[in-house]
Amino acid sequence: MKKFIAMLSAVFGLFMLGVFSQPQIQAASEKTYTIDTDVTFPPFVYANTENKYVGIDLDLLRAIAKEEGFKVKIRPVGFNAAVQSVSAGQADGMIAGMSITEERKQKFDFSDPYYSAGIVMAVKDGSGIKSLSELKGKKVAVKTGTAGADYANSIKDKYGFEIVTFDDSDGVYNDVINGNSAACFEDSAVMYYAIKNGLDLKVVTKPANTTETGFAVKKGQNQELLKMFNEGLAKLKANGEYDKIIKKYTEGKATSKTKVKSQTETAEDRTVLGILKENKDAFISGIIETLKLTVVGIFCATIFGIFVGLLGVVPNKFCRGLSTTIIYIFRGLPLIVLALFIYNGVPSLIGSKVPAFLAGVITLMLNEGAYTAAFVKGGIESVDKGQMEAARSLGMPFGKSMRRVILPQGIKIMVPSFINQFIITLKDTSILSVIGLLELTQTGKIIIARNLEGFRVWAIVAVIYLVIITVLTLLSKWIERRINN
């Protein structure tokens, strides 16, 4: 039995070594900074029709970087994930139409403001609501963590409305369009940009609580980057580049020519086929990322799960306790909490970055692995005890008995659970969009942020998932038949 444990440990050790000892590639002549952003936030940051990340923020950032001679690596992780990555040191800075607030100043150092905007209230065209006082007893949609949300919170008691929060702007707008919420609060620039692009909402208030928008780094960190940003911004303002960029994104609507053009473009693109064609590359790279996560995740989770499951049946109290504890913890934790913990929590503990893909794979390995371990353990335990007794009574050691007698019978019992777990793993990769992995779900979010076609894009994403799941199921059934023969 000791041999058996030693063998398992060796296999697992080698495996972990493989996972964690990825070579750190670090070669930079010009310093590269990792900047996190939220690409569902036009006009500050969004993906254009060529799926390039553009907007006021990124155009400014790139111009500044060019001016000051540094490089940036943009990661479209989403606003909350960006806030957490910068706090955890996973990213050097963030730029995402971020309002400068006293609360945020506790954790971040901000650049000089590069834009100032106010919060406006928007309602469904024709809803008849014209002022804040008409919101009493109604629902109001906001995007979490935005200045719009803060503003809504500050006045909700006064006006007696209820707040509904969403993770992305599309969710906010749709809630208003669908009539679930009576209004939404959003940054004026964001709101005007969205309406300009065909969103069926109407701004009914003047900008309130004007706030300044800034580039942020973790408090006390990356001061040289902050200095360069400020210097670069000053230069851009002096040479007129700054005004050009701002106008490009907020005043384009003034000319009727561009409006007409954008409308005809829009009409062509709004069919499912049009959306697919236009975003082909984005969908393909999203599918590839999802598949990569799924395959590597399933592989790691299966090995980890089998290891922990077997640990749960060896005749050693410590091993069994360890197995039960691992299953208890990682099956008990919601996947999203585990992902955020590994990606944003662990780096501040160990003092080095965890790449998002690795964090995603570890999350899947631990969570899906815990479920796998539970049914591996259950499968083995469901093999009649007499089988093990008979094998042991012949003088066969525990490991041999396990391998030749118990496992072949247990695996047959486990096969349907494995297939089920593979499918769950595939679906769970979508949750990893919270740590900014550009998989299929995150891809969908980004595309919707630009074209606001929630229904069609999510339908496309759903169908893609179903297709992948069908292929995965067929593959698993084929393996199942092979095992049973």
Partner 1 sequence: MADLKVDVTNLKKNYGSNQVLKGIDFKVANNEVVVLIGPSGSGKSTLLRCLNKLEEPTSGSIVIDGHDISDPKTNIDKARENIGMVFQHFNLFNNLSVGENIMLAPVELGKANKDEAMTTAKQLLETVGLADKFDAMPASLSGGQKQRVAIARALAMNPDIMLFDEPTSALDPEMVGDVLEVMKDLAKDGMTMVVVTHEMGFAKEVADRVVFMAEGHVVEEGRPEAIFEDPQNERTKAFLEKVINI
Residue 10 or 390 with smaller CB distance to partner 1: 390
Residue 162 or 384 with smaller CB distance to partner 1: 384
Minimum CB distance to partner 1, residue 484 (Å): 11
Residue 209 or 409 with smaller CB distance to partner 1: 409
Residue 154 or 393 with smaller CB distance to partner 1: 393
Minimum CB distance to partner 1, residue 399 (Å): 11
- How many CA within 13 A on the CB side of residue 421? 27
How many Å apart are CA 373 and CA 409, to the nearest integer?
Answer: 16
How many Å apart are CA 98 and CA 169, to the nearest integer?
Answer: 14
Residue 104 or 412 with smaller CB distance to partner 1: 412
Of residues 203, 183, 200, 81, the one with CA closest to residue 141: 183
Diameter of the chain by CA atoms?
A: 89
Within 106-222, residue ranges assigned H as helices are 147-159, 169-177, 188-196
Minimum CB distance to partner 1, residue 459 (Å): 46
Residue 406 or 461 with smaller CB distance to partner 1: 406
How many Å apart are CA 296 and CA 121, to the nearest integer?
Answer: 45
How many Å apart are CA 483 and CA 477, to the nearest integer?
Answer: 10
Minimum CB distance to partner 1, residue 404 (Å): 6
Minimum CB distance to partner 1, residue 90 (Å): 49
Minimum CB distance to partner 1, residue 401 (Å): 9
Which residues would be at the binding site for partner 1 (CB under 8 A)?
Answer: 384, 386-387, 389-397, 400, 404-405, 408-409
Residue 128 or 395 with smaller CB distance to partner 1: 395
Minimum CB distance to partner 1, residue 383 (Å): 9
How many Å apart are CA 382 and CA 66, to the nearest integer?
Answer: 65
Give the Cβ contact number of residue 31 at 10 Å: 13
N-to-C CA span, the chain:
30
How many Å apart are CA 180 and CA 161, to the nearest integer?
Answer: 13
